[in-house]
Every structure is written in C-alpha cells, then in structure tokens.
C-alpha cells in the first residue's frame, strides 16, 4: 500500500501533491487556500468538510473582550489575526463571489449584580493597562446602544474594535475558492499518515469514507434548509476538478501533510508518539434563534450564574447564542441541561428572546491544548505540519494560522513562535 | 365540477364511497378504521397523515389525574373511552401487526410547596367524592415509586388506573390496518365540502396537494430517523389499494363526510355558517428526551411555577415532556420561551433529565372548543358529521369517538349526547 519513497516536493500532479491537508474546517480550508495561492499543489481530505467545530462556531473575532488575565500571548495572536481579517475576507469574497457578513460594530460585555460590575471594572482597568481600546458604560448607556438588553443590566464594557463573521459562510466561501483554484476536497477519512524513512509521504485513506461524529445535526429546523445551513454533500463548492488523485488506490501522495483535524488531530495513526498533538475535545452546544427584525446591533456577552454567554447577531436577523464548555470526550449529544443553560442565559441578557423561534441547535468539539495556545507549524517529523489546538479561537485565528503554516511549508517558519509544536514534543 | 346528486349510500366503488373522512390524525384514522370494520366503504383525505396534533401528543390516557372541578362531563367521556382502549389497542395490534406500547402503570401527580400540597389534597378529596380510584402518598412514598423524582417533592396523588400510549405508533398502526382493509388514505388537501340540494355529496380536493402547517418538524434530531419518528411519505402503510378513487377529477364522491381535521375543521369551505364547528387552535410544544435506561416507570405530572407539566416514559427509554398551551392562532414555531419552560419544568420534577439527550421538539395545534367538550356526530347538514374539538384529549377519546361517529353514520346517533354538534348550531 505504501507509495514509493520521495522526500522532495514535486510539481502538482494527479498522483502527488505538494501538500495534503487533513481536515476541512475553517482552519484546514484556510491553510489549503493560502497554500494554493502561494503556488503549491494542494488536496484536502475530510469526510464532511465544514461540518465540525466550524459549523458550531459563533464566529466572534473578539480578542479584546475575550482577554483573560493569564493569557496575554493569546491576546497578541488574536489582535494580529483580527488585523488580517478584513483583507482575508475581502480577497475570499472576491475569489468566491460569496459575501462573508464580516461585521465590525464591537462587543458589549455587560454586568448585572454589584460583584459582576466590580469584576468588569477590574477587567476594564486591565484592558486599559494593556493599551486596548475599551469604553466603560453605565447601564443606561448600554441600553441606549442595545435597547433589547435586560433592565437589570448595571453597566458594561464596549470593545469597539471587536468584530464577527458567519463561519458557515466562511467555510462555504473557502470551498468555492478552492474549487475555483482546482484544489480537490476529497470526502474521505484519513486513516493514517504515511512515513518512509523519517519523512512523511502522504496519507492513507480509510477503506470506506465514513463520517465524522463531530457535529450531530440534531435540531436542524425546517427553516434550516437555507443555503447557509448544514453543509450538503451536493453543493457546487465541492465540484472536484479533474484530474483528481486516484482515490481508488486509497493513498494520497504528498510532500507534506498538514494535520488540521481539530479535536481528532491527536488520534491519527502513523504519527509518532512524541509528535502527536496533545489536543482534547471541549464540547460546545450552540443555538440559533430566528427573528424577523434584528434584535441586537453588535455582539453582547455577559456572565450569568457564573458561566459566560454571548449573543451574536447575523445579518438576516438570526441571533446565535453560545456556548457551553464541557469536557466529556467525543460526545456531541444535544442535552437538556446544555440547552436549558443557553436558554436561561439568553433570557437573562435579552428577555425578548423568549418570543423568537429556535432555528437549530448543534454541538461541536473544540480542540483544547494544555496551555490554551494552538499548535501551528512544522513538527519533529519532517513533512508533518500542525494546524490545530485553536480551542475557542479557530475562526479568529484562521488568517494568521494559514499564513504561519504556509511560512512553514515554504521553509520560513519561526521555530521560536509561541504556537510552535516543538513546545510539547519529546518531553519524555 | 360537481358530481351528480345522490343522496343514498351505495356500495363501495372506485368512484363513490359511503364515507370520506377529512383528516388523517388519530381521530380521523380511528373513525375510518371502525367505519371500515362495520362494512362501510371509506376513504381518508389528508396531505400528511399523522403529522398534526397526533404527532405532537404525549398520549396520556389519564381521565382521573386530568380531572378538573368544572369539567365532570369530560371525565365521564374519558373514563368510558379509557375502558375501551385495551380492546381497541389489542384489535389494532392484531390487525396491523404493530405493538402500540399501551401501558397501565398509572399517573403520579406530585406537589412541591405547602400550597401545592394543600391544592393536591383538595383535588384528592374531590376525586374520592367522585368515586375515582386514587391514593395519597407522602414525598418519601413518591420517591420510592419513582426514585428519580426531585428531593423537594412533598407528596403526591397516584391515579393507578390511568394509562398511556405512543400516539405515533397508534397512527402508524391505524394506517397499516387501513391499508390492509383496502381503505385509501389520499395524500391530498380537501378544499371544499360539496353539497347538492341540502345534502353532502363529497369533497373537492385542492388543485395541488399542498401540505399542512400543523407540525413544523423543527428539531428532528439525527436519531429521529427511527421507524417511529416523523411520518414519512414512503411508509408501507400508505400503499394505496387499487382501484382507488379518480383523484385526477379532484373530487371524491361520498354519501357522508366526516370532518376530522382538528384545528382546521372550522375553516373548510362549503360548510354552511351555522354548522361550521367552533374550534380554535391551541398550540402545544413538546419535547422528547432520550435515555439509555428508563428514567420513570409511570407518568409523572406536577405544577411548576403555576403551569402544569407532565413526563411520559416510552418503552425504549424515551421521556416525553409536555406541553405548553398557547393561544396564538395557526402558529407552530418552536420558540425559545416554550422550550425554556419545558426544560425548566422537567428539571424541577426530575433533576436528572439534565443529562439526557434532546431527541426532538415539535409543536402541534389542538382543536379547542368553547365548552372544552369535543364535537362528535351528525350535524344539521345531512351527510356531514363532525369528529373534532378534542383539545387535549384526542388520543384518549379516539376509541369512543370512533364508536360515536360510526353510530351516527349508521343512523344510531344519540341526539342528546353531550358531544352532539347541535349544541352550537344555528345559535343566531
């Protein structure tokens, strides 16, 4: 089954690619698109592209309002990537002919009780110390910005530079852009990374395509048949350009493999023990509500009963409510408790959501890492690159990740980068 | 378009039936089945049989625990129909080859606070006065029967003779039984009752089949593809026997029409003003939870924050949570508020539901009447019979309704029956 050994990168051909990307979420597709734009021959392998964590993501591009006291390196990555989003989105929209709904009206973080308000005040001071743009608002000022907010909101912090995007539009646009560039997106499951000598030579496909268990599309409502809903196997975005690789042989030969399989990246066969990325699945349940008129004009977040909740408005009147954070392994069930929390918290922030229609609820698995930073770039196994471990920041960090991975593929990686996979390798 | 006038009942033929039933829910299908068993030639007209209020019903057969102070006539009907359920179910199971999951372990009505407990005590005294079988239980006794009940349950009333059934199994079994008897179930929308002189002659079908808006199948989960899930247009139950009526002519000729269209029964064209049934839609949202092990061994109900909630266990470990009651016209949206109420109330009764998977949520429209009693039997328009207005009791009252309607079709109706439509006719 193994292909002949080959350690140098050769021009694109039906039988051998410069790069095969394992994983067709927002990260894998972004990497593939940017690599193709750099002139590399690329293939993507995913049994259900765009149906994983990307499908369950709210799409907040909010490094400022998501800053936490111990994670300043993540803030830096987020700010860098946010700065690249407008150009990334504009180029992607132009190439795909698809609007992305990138919006830049900021995030409003609100507080209810006195304790909440004090904590928010401290966070504001921390943000100011970091030089981040932030405005402190009274409860009345919050409601002036967002009239649907609960009367009990006591105050808030506005992060005016935060943005958001619709991740389902992004993955769809990326698939269209890849189709336009002749990059095949193979609806196959990668079974094993192939290695000859000490170098990666490609990917063996599973004997049957199979499906991911990442997102269980429970609760896909009757109205969820719109174009931006659950990915369909029949979308034009998946036109496979000819000539494609010979999948009958069940092997995709490539000079490099980029492992962008999210929470599953830690379990792919063929990757040596010391190089396997230490990712774990962090479950998130998210709900989409439908409204005839827009309910909010910017992202709103708050802490309800100790758990953070956010509401993200879409251009078509939809309101995304997210998200639970649960450490339950590879479990993607929609639970009564998870759904109840989302509904309770959303009602607390914006009581009027009670009247809205529930369009769908999905669960996804985020790839968490021990230090909450992603794993991006070349590994100790020549030819194997990582692009995973983005936890809650996959959509935000997609443009930066794509650039970093392409740097690594073209020999320009920075080995001292905080996202370098080397920080977890060969610890024993 | 009108068929030739004909006022006498003729033998079954492809072009004329003794009876056409408008509405293929549990009521219409039961009527059709019993009428066919009595030797009448029957057809049913429904664009989506079994997908309306029957699909959203929990299936409680609980006349005792549902008794209210002002509705003793309804109690009598319920007790009579409950007594007919075992034979009805046995015969239907035999004829359809389909188990119905009829269970008879009773209903446990529980109380939380002192006020609740006092109200339940009074209800118990009322039941005893009516001679109904009921047992008063302490909180501890309740939890001994149902260990998953909340620790805060203070006491309860057990109605040991109450029963329940799976309505989706019932409509499926009825469709199979009808197919076995050669009764066509036409997937068509009835547009108009046809009248010649002062007598009903049949039904004109809509120019295109259309669909009902009764149940919006939002939230049909991935696991909802089991056989007992949302009715499919392709089930064997809908094998249409040949020769069927000539639907190309868009008319079904019949000696009698039974209007069993639930909440829509009040709006059918062709029915004279004074005879139109005074039904209104009462929306109910219901949720199915999935459990690997049974959570309850009988129906449990209670009053949470002033609204009644019930939990109905299914044989396969499912738990049905119902139901909201909303007067919003023909609105079948699943709303954030409705879903939140169901989840809140279910958690209050049985905290462990938090861990269960949400299998689906559906909304249906019950046909309410001014006096909360159904409308069953012949009307002032010769040939037009009603079987609607069952509100929350459609499944319970199906066997009795079928018998009463067949009595009316065969000339044996009791004009003084409390369900007689005459009580609302020609009031002006």
Residue A246 pLDDT level (bands cut at 50, 70, 90)? low
Q: Which residue in chain B is spatially nearest to A337 when comparing CA positions?
A: B354
B336–A347 CB contact, under 8 Å: yes
User: CA B256: distance to chain centroid?
Assistant: 22
Q: Is B348 on the interface with A (CB under 8 A)?
A: no
**pLDDT on residue A245:** 59
Burial A112-139 (b: 16+ CB within 10 A, else e): beeebbeebeebbeebeeeebebeebeb
Sequence-distant (6+) residues with CB within 8 A of A12 are A18, A40, A41
| Domains B17-55+170-279+371-425 and B104-162+280-368 agree in fold | no
**pLDDT on residue B1:** 30
- Measured CA to CA, the distance from residue A159 to residue A75 in angstroms comes to 14
Q: Is A229 on the interface with B (CB under 8 A)?
A: no
If phi > 0 it is left, if psi is from -120 to 50 it is alpha, else beta; for residue A39 that is: left
- Measured CA to CA, the distance from residue A291 to residue B341 in angstroms comes to 19
Q: Which residue in chain B is spatially nearest to A332 when comparing CA positions?
A: B357
B358–A347 CB contact, under 8 Å: no
Residue A248 pLDDT level (bands cut at 50, 70, 90)? low
Per-residue pLDDT averaged across A57-83, rounded? 94
Residue B376 pLDDT level (bands cut at 50, 70, 90)? very high
**pLDDT on residue A226:** 28
Per-residue pLDDT averaged across B13-33, rounded? 92
For residue B10, pLDDT beyond 90: no
Q: Is A220 on the interface with B (CB under 8 A)?
A: yes
Q: Which of A242-251, B8-17, B21-30 has the highest mean pLDDT?
A: B21-30
Distances in Å between the alpha carbon of B4 and those of B121, B195, B202, B383? 62, 10, 10, 15
B75, B67 contact by CB (below 8 A): yes
CB-closest option in A222, A335, A355 to B218: A222
Q: Which CATH architecture has domain A17-55+170-279+371-425?
A: 3-Layer(bba) Sandwich (3.50)
For residue A247, pLDDT beyond 80: no
Q: Is A206 on the interface with B (CB under 8 A)?
A: no
Residue B98 pLDDT level (bands cut at 50, 70, 90)? very high
- DSSP per-residue string spanning B128-155: HHTT---EEEEHHHHHHH-TTS-TT--E
B336–A358 CB contact, under 8 Å: yes
Q: What are the helix and strand counts (H, E) for chain B? A: 7, 18
B358–A361 CB contact, under 8 Å: yes
A219–B340 CB contact, under 8 Å: no
Q: Is A360 on the interface with B (CB under 8 A)?
A: yes
**pLDDT on residue A207:** 78
What would the two tokens of residue A52 be? 């994983």
For residue A81, pLDDT beyond 90: yes
Q: Which residue in chain B is spatially nearest to A336 when comparing CA positions?
A: B354
- Please name which of A288, A312, A149, A151 lies closest in space to residue A217, comparing C-alpha atoms: A288
- Measured CA to CA, the distance from residue A363 to residue A334 in angstroms comes to 6
**pLDDT on residue A227:** 32
- Please name which of B164, B146, B161 lies closest in space to residue B60, comparing C-alpha atoms: B164
CB-closest option in A218, A337, A343 to B354: A337
CB-closest option in A339, A353, A355 to B343: A339
Query: What is the nearest CA distance from A211 to chain B, expressed in angstroms?
Result: 13
For residue B428, pLDDT beyond 60: no
For residue A273, pLDDT beyond 80: yes
CB-closest option in B223, B334, B354 to A358: B334
A72, A263 contact by CB (below 8 A): no
Per-residue pLDDT averaged across A60-74, rounded? 92
Burial B308-347 (b: 16+ CB within 10 A, else e): ebbbbbbeeebbbbbbbebeeeeebbbbbbbbbbbbbbbb
Q: Is A355 on the interface with B (CB under 8 A)?
A: yes
Residue B425 pLDDT level (bands cut at 50, 70, 90)? confident
Per-residue pLDDT averaged across B408-413, rounded? 94
Report percent pLDDT > 70 for chain A.
86
CB-closest option in A217, A218, A343 to B340: A343
- Please name which of B297, B62, B309, B311 lies closest in space to residue B162, comparing C-alpha atoms: B62
- Chain B residue numbers with beta carbons less than 8 Å from the beta carbon of A335 are 354-358
Residue A113 pLDDT level (bands cut at 50, 70, 90)? confident
Strand partners, B257: B20, B384
User: CA B251: distance to chain centroid?
Assistant: 27
- Chain B residue numbers with beta carbons less than 8 Å from the beta carbon of A355 are 335-337
Per-residue pLDDT averaged across B201-227, rounded? 50
Residue B130 backbone dihedrals phi, psi, to 5 degrees: -80, 0
For residue B219, pLDDT beyond 60: no
**pLDDT on residue A229:** 37
- Chain A residue numbers with beta carbons less than 8 Å from the beta carbon of B340 are 340, 343-344, 347, 354
Q: Is B357 on the interface with A (CB under 8 A)?
A: yes
For residue B399, pLDDT beyond 60: yes
Per-residue pLDDT averaged across B218-222, rounded? 34
Q: Considering only residues 301 to 340 of chain B, which have any Cβ-Cβ distance to chain A shorter than 8 Å?
A: 333-337, 339-340
Residue B305 pLDDT level (bands cut at 50, 70, 90)? confident
Sequence-distant (6+) residues with CB within 8 A of A93 are A99, A100, A173
CB-closest option in B220, B339, B356 to A335: B356
- Chain A residue numbers with beta carbons less than 8 Å from the beta carbon of B343 are 336, 339-340, 343
Which of B215, B218, B283, B322 would best serve as a mutation to test chain A binding (most A beta carbons within 10 A)? B218
Q: Which of A84-93, A243-252, B7-16 has the highest mean pLDDT?
A: A84-93
Query: What is the nearest CA distance from A357 to chain B, expressed in angstroms?
Result: 4
- Chain A residue numbers with beta carbons less than 8 Å from the beta carbon of B358 are 218-219, 334-336, 339, 361
Sequence-distant (6+) residues with CB within 8 A of A101 are A165, A166, A169, A314, A315
**Structure-model confidence comparison of residues A261 and B250, the more confident one:** A261
- Chain B residue numbers with beta carbons less than 8 Å from the beta carbon of A213 are none
Q: What is the pLDDT of residues A223-241, one digit of tens each?
A: 222 233 344 433 434 434 4
Q: Which CATH architecture has domain A104-162+280-368?
A: 2-Layer Sandwich (3.30)
Show the CA angle centred on residue B157, arms to residues B151 and B163, nearest 5°. 110
A343–B343 CB contact, under 8 Å: yes
Domain ranges of chain B: 17-55+170-279+371-425, 104-162+280-368
Per-residue pLDDT averaged across A347-369, rounded? 95
For residue A2, pLDDT beyond 60: no
Helix (H, G, I), strand (E, B) or coil at A195: strand
Q: Which residue in chain A is spatially nearest to B335 when comparing CA positions?
A: A357
Helix (H, G, I), strand (E, B) or coil at A423: helix
For residue B190, pLDDT beyond 70: yes
A357–B337 CB contact, under 8 Å: no
What would the two tokens of residue B33 be? 């089945």
Residue A374 pLDDT level (bands cut at 50, 70, 90)? very high
- Chain B residue numbers with beta carbons less than 8 Å from the beta carbon of A334 are 221, 357-358
Q: What is the pLDDT of residues A139-181, one digit of tens each?
A: 999 999 999 999 999 999 999 999 999 999 999 999 999 999 9
B358–A219 CB contact, under 8 Å: yes
- Mean pLDDT across chain B: 87
- Please name which of A52, A30, A49 lies closest in space to residue A100, comparing C-alpha atoms: A30
Q: What is the pLDDT of residues A198-213, one digit of tens each?
A: 999 999 999 754 443 3
CB-closest option in B221, B343, B347 to A219: B221
Look up the pTM and report it.
0.84
Report percent pLDDT > 90 for chain B.
78
Q: Is A347 on the interface with B (CB under 8 A)?
A: yes
């Amino acid at each position: 089954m193994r292909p002949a050994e080959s350690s140098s990168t050769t021009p694109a051909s039906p039988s051998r690619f410069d790069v095969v990307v394992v994983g067709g979420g927002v990260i894998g597709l972004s990497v593939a698109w940017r690599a193709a734009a750099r002139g590399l021959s690329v293939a993507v392998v995913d049994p259900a592209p765009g149906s994983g964590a990307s499908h369950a993501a709210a799409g907040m591009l909010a490094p400022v309002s998501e800053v936490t006291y111990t994670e300043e390196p993540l803030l830096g990555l987020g700010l860098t990537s946010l700065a690249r989003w407008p150009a990334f989105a504009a180029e992607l929209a132009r190439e795909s002919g698809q609007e992305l709904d990138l919006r830049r009206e900021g995030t409003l973080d609100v507080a209810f009780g006195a304790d909440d308000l004090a904590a928010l005040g401290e966070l504001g001071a921390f943000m100011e110390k970091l030089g981040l743009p932030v405005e402190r608002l009274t409860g009345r000022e919050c409601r002036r910005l967002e009239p649907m907010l609960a009367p009990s909101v006591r105050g808030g912090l506005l992060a005016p530079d935060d943005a958001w995007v619709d991740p389902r539009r992004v993955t769809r646009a990326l698939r269209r852009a890849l189709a336009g560039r002749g990059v095949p997106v193979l609806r196959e499951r990668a079974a094993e990374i192939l290695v000859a000598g000490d170098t990666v030579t490609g990917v063996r496909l599973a004997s049957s395509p199979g499906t991911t268990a990442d997102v269980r599309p429970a609760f896909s409502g009757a109205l969820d048949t719109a174009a931006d809903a659950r990915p369909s196997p029949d979308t034009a975005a998946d036109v496979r350009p000819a000539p494609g690789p010979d999948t009958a042989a069940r092997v995709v030969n490539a000079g490099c493999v980029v492992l962008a399989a999210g929470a599953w990246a830690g379990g792919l066969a063929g990757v040596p023990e010391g190089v396997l990325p230490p990712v774990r699945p962090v479950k998130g349940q998210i709900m989409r509500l439908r409204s005839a008129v827009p309910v909010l004009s910017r992202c709103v977040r708050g802490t309800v009963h100790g758990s953070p909740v956010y509401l993200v408005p879409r251009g078509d009147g939809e309101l995304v409510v997210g998200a639970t954070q649960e450490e339950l392994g590879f479990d993607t069930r929609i639970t009564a408790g998870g759904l109840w929390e989302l509904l309770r918290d959303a009602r607390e922030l914006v009581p009027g959501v009670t009247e809205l229609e529930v369009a769908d609820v999905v669960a996804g698995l985020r790839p968490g890492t021990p230090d909450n930073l992603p794993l991006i770039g070349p590994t100790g196994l020549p030819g194997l690159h990582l692009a995973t471990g983005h936890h809650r920041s996959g959509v935000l960090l997609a443009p930066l990740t794509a650039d970093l991975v392409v740097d690594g593929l073209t020999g320009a990686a920075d080995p001292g980068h905080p996202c370098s996979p080397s920080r977890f390798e060969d610890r024993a």
